[in-house]
Amino acid sequence: MTAYVIRRIWQMIPTIFGVILLIFLLFNWVGGDPAQVLAGKISNPDQIANIRRQLGVDQPYWYQLWVFVKQVFTFDFGRSWSTNEEVSHILLTRVGPTLTIMVPVLVIETSLAVLLAIGVAYVRGTLKDRSIMIVCTVAMSISFLVYIIVFQWLFGFILGWFPVQGWSESFWKNLGTYAPLPIMLAVFVGLAPELRLYRSFFLDEINQDYVRTARAKGVPEKRVMMKHVLRNAMIPILTNVAIYLPGVFVGSFLLEVFFSIPGLGREVVTAVNRSDFPVIKAVTVYLAVITMVINLLVDVMYKFVDPRVSFK
């Protein structure tokens, strides 16, 4: 297995370099001279000159690329073009609030989706099944924005159960007061597509030959679902969760924007508004690396979930 891990890490290197290259091409080459980008946004000419010097704008491109690569590996992207805060500091402080929201969302949503999907798969074909699926389809077609606007208005403004916006310094206060509404919202909206997807996973498994064998052995239908089918369906379900795992770090930027949560997502949106390139570049590159690492961990974990997987 160590050979497998080493080979995977070896394979990750060209991809990481590719990501760096892509971001560089996008921001430094297409994006061009910071002077033009920031014209009208920063009035201080010295500041602009500073930035230009740091990036090496007047140097040939390969030098600029080298600067960027250095930045990535030393974790030092300089300072934000708009707030002048150190980019690394920005990244580290904003991750916390994002995770405070997203981790509970992931856990609650996945568990609920699996439970409901089993239930729906059990009664497949009946009116209950079809009506739930129709509700899901319609629910999925309403924009997330509409949900946020309505929920905020309903629960925060009208009913006053939760504060409409805000964040505090204390973790527990956040979890108890400020987080519940956004978490509830995210779970509510995310449930419909996941339920549909997981239901299809369960149905795929139910049609397999080994289910017929289990029934032929006299295994009662409930046990067929909960033991035989569930165990097999967990494989695609875990694949699905693994795909969403990196997204946990970015968070739902819409939620953060609407609820004024100082998380990574909101930070990126603000940066886009202000053309604050260093922040965007840093977040993008590091999240790409995190994604690759998570993928590797998940693939290794697969061995314990799916016995058919072998490492070559």
Partner 1 sequence: MSAVLKNPPAARPQESPGLWMLAWRRLRQDRVGMVSLVIVVFFLLMMVASYTGLIAKDWSKERGVSYANPSFLAGAENLEAKAMAQKEAAKAPTVDLSDIDPLAPRYKEWAERAAKIAVTETKRSETLPFGGDKWGRDVLQKTIKGSEVSIFVGLTGALLAMFIGTVFGALAGYVGGRVNDFFEWFYNIFTSIPYILLILSFAAVATATGKFGKGIVPIVAILSLTGWTGIYRLMRAEYIKHVNREYVQAAKAIGASNLSRMFRHILPNVSHVALVQLSQNTVQFIKAEVILSFLGFGVPVDMVSWGTMLAEAQNELVIGKWWQLAAAGAAMAILVTAFSILTDSLRDALDPKLK
Partner 2 sequence: MSDNRSDPGLRRGDSAQHLLLQVQDLDVAFRVERKGEPFRAVKGISFDIGRNRTVALVGESGSGKSVSAMAILGLLPDNAIVSPQSRILYEGRDLLKASMGELQAIRGKDISVIFQEPMTSLNPVFTVGEQIAEVLRLHMGLGVRAAHARAIELLNEVGIPSPQLRVNSYPHEMSGGQQQRVMIAMAIACEPKLLIADEPTTALDVTIQKQILDLVAGLQSRHNMSVLFITHDLGVVGEIADDVVVMQNGEIQEQGTVRDIFERPQHAYTKALLACRPRLDRRPKRLPVIDDFMRGQGPVHIEERRRGTSPADAIILEVKDLTKTFFLKEGLFGKRAVPAVQQVSFRLPKGKTIGLVGESGSGKTTVGLTVMRLHEATGGQVLFEGKDLLALTEREMMAYRRRIQIIFQNPYASLNPRFTVGQILVEPMKIHGIGANEKERVEHAFHLLKRVGLPEASFYKYPHEFSGGQRQRIAIARCLTMKPDVLICDESVSALDVSVQAQVLNLLQDLQDEYKLSYIFISHDLAVVKYISDRVMVMNQGRIVEMADSDEIYRQPREEYTRKLLSSIPKGLEKAADLTE
The binding site for partner 2 (CB under 8 A) comprises 3, 6-7, 125, 208-210, 212-221, 228, 231-232, 235, 306-308, 312
Q: How far apart are CA 267 and CA 175, in angstroms?
A: 20
Query: Do 228 and 219 form a contact (C-beta atoms < 8 A)?
Result: yes
**Does residue 68 belong to the site contacting partner 1 (CB under 8 A)?**
no
Nearer to partner 2, 79 or 228 (CB): 228
> Considering only CA atoms, which of 105, 17, 94 is closest in space to residue 268?
94
Query: CA gyration radius for the chain?
Result: 24
Part of the chain binding partner 1 (CB under 8 A), chosen from 85-93, 116-124, 208-216, 284-292 = 284-292
The SS3 assignment for 79 reads strand
- Provide, rounded to whole angstroms, the least separation between the CB of residue 201 and partner 2: 14
Among 145, 297, 301, 309, binds partner 1 (CB under 8 A): 145
**Does residue 144 belong to the site contacting partner 1 (CB under 8 A)?**
yes
Query: Do 31 and 269 form a contact (C-beta atoms < 8 A)?
Result: no
Residue count of the chain: 312
Segment 223-262, which members bind partner 1 (CB under 8 A)?
246-247, 249-250, 253-254, 257
What is the torsion angle, in degrees rounded to the nearest 10, for the CA atoms of residue 86, residue 31, residue 265 and residue 279?
A: -10
Nearer to partner 1, 15 or 168 (CB): 15
Q: How far apart are CA 121 and CA 206, in angstroms?
A: 9
**Does residue 288 belong to the site contacting partner 1 (CB under 8 A)?**
yes
> Considering only CA atoms, which of 272, 270, 122, 266 is closest in space to residue 206?
122
Among 2, 74, 141, 310, binds partner 1 (CB under 8 A): 141
Count residues near partner 1 (CB under 8 A).
Answer: 50
Query: Do 50 and 312 form a contact (C-beta atoms < 8 A)?
Result: no
**Does residue 296 belong to the site contacting partner 1 (CB under 8 A)?**
no
Which of the listed partners (partner 2, partner 1, none) does 6 bind, with a CB threshold of 5 to 8 Å by partner kind?
partner 2
| First and final C-alpha spacing in the chain | 8
Q: Strand pairing partners for 39?
A: 42
Which of the listed partners (partner 2, partner 1, none) does 108 bind, with a CB threshold of 5 to 8 Å by partner kind?
none
> Considering only CA atoms, which of 144, 150, 154, 138 is closest in space to residue 189?
144
Which of the listed partners (partner 2, partner 1, none) does 32 bind, with a CB threshold of 5 to 8 Å by partner kind?
partner 1
Among 104, 182, 263, 265, binds partner 1 (CB under 8 A): 265
Angle at 247 between CA 246 and CA 248, to 5 degrees: 90
Tokens describing residue 66: 């080298």
The binding track of 8-47 with respect to partner 1, each residue x by CB under 8 A or -, is ------xx--xx-xxx--xx--xxx---xx----------
Nearer to partner 2, 138 or 309 (CB): 309
- Provide, rounded to whole angstroms, the least separation between the CB of residue 26 and partner 1: 6
| Beta strand spans in the chain (E) | none
- Provide, rounded to whole angstroms, the least separation between the CB of residue 163 and partner 1: 15
